[in-house]
Amino acid sequence: MRLDAAIADAAERLSRVSDSARLDAEILLCQTIDMPRSYLFAHPEDVLDELTRDRFETLMLRRLNGEPMSYITGTREFWSHELLVSPATLVPRPETELLVELALREIPRNAEWQILDLGTGSGAVAIAIAGERLMCKITATDISPDALAVARENVRHAQMSNITLLEGSWIAPVAGSKFELIVSNPPYVRDDDEALKNLGYEPLSALAAGKDGLRDIRTLASGAGGILVPGGWLMLEHGADQAKDVAAILQASGWSGIACHNDLAGKPRVTVARWDGKQAPS
Ligand code: GLN
């Protein structure tokens, strides 16, 4: 079978599971023949031998089964960094770039802030911020050693010398430190959310957060103030239908300046708040 025919056939089959079927087909074929995409357009008449077709079919079946492209290729682009991802980490989402954008809006260009990324996963958010604010020191934590191994590789590849990775639950590894800004994309999906069925390849521990999906956001709201300087920022990604609940939780924990921002799809996605140094009301 010729390359162009193989792509057309694969794209047709993938359209059942993917909105970007043709692109997926091309990328999977490139991975099979270990060539850049430009090769596919320059040599549409090349013929795939049987062994290569078998290898292509193996990748096709994984994708047809619903496995994310990023796990098959092992990489994902985020904030123009090419990142490794593995089933130990969430695939970084485009909407999470809003978290980075809002953080950069508040961190002055030459600031030497201490910044904390809680539940860093692949390290996407930490690396994006670190690359834009070289004078800042970014600490990134995760409870999963397997996720941290992926983050470590990404930090090394991105050559970020201003990131420190620490293992542990939420703020536990940084107790006693002080930060100017904390960002987090915590798990926030409800345990019984139907959407989890389609996210079966990604780590449940990075997605699900109790009956109402707010378990970890509550933990962060009550603990993060203690490790912020007065006036310090907390920025949290959450579900599109959680903005009100998140605001109420933050308010009850003594945060001020609470404001929610919409992602590119127009959905309320990131809430920011400030810590004025006072204790939470009892
Ligand atoms: N945005 C993800 C999704 O719903 C969830 C990410 C998360 O829980 N942090 O697919």
pLDDT at 279: 55
pLDDT at 277: 75
- pLDDT, one tens digit per residue, over 117-174 is 999 999 999 999 999 999 999 999 999 999 999 999 999 999 999 999 999 999 999 9
- Provide the phi-psi class of 231: left if phi over 0, else alpha when psi is between -120 and 50, else beta: left
Residue 207 CA to ligand 1 centre (angstroms): 6
Residue 188 CA to ligand 1 centre (angstroms): 7
Domain 78-275 has CATH 3.40.50.150: yes
- pLDDT, one tens digit per residue, over 64-78 is 999 999 999 999 999
Q: Whose CA is nearest to atom 10 of ligand 1?
A: 199
Backbone φ and ψ for 65, nearest 5 degrees, come out as -80, -5
Question: Can you tell me the mean pLDDT for 269-277?
Answer: 95
Domain 3-66 has CATH 3.40.390: no
* Of residues 163, 112, 111, the one with CA closest to residue 138: 163
Domain ranges of the chain: 3-66, 78-275
Q: Which residues line ligand 1 (CB under 6 A)?
A: 93, 185, 187-189, 195, 199, 207
- pLDDT, one tens digit per residue, over 86-120 is 999 999 999 999 999 999 999 999 999 999 999 99
Beta strands in the chain (DSSP E): 75-78, 81-84, 114-118, 137-142, 163-167, 179-184, 228-237, 256-262, 268-275
Residue 72 CA to ligand 1 centre (angstroms): 19
Residues with Cβ within 8 Å of residue 87, at least 6 apart in sequence: 71, 201, 202, 203
pTM higher than 0.85: yes
- pLDDT, one tens digit per residue, over 196-211 is 998 999 999 999 999 9
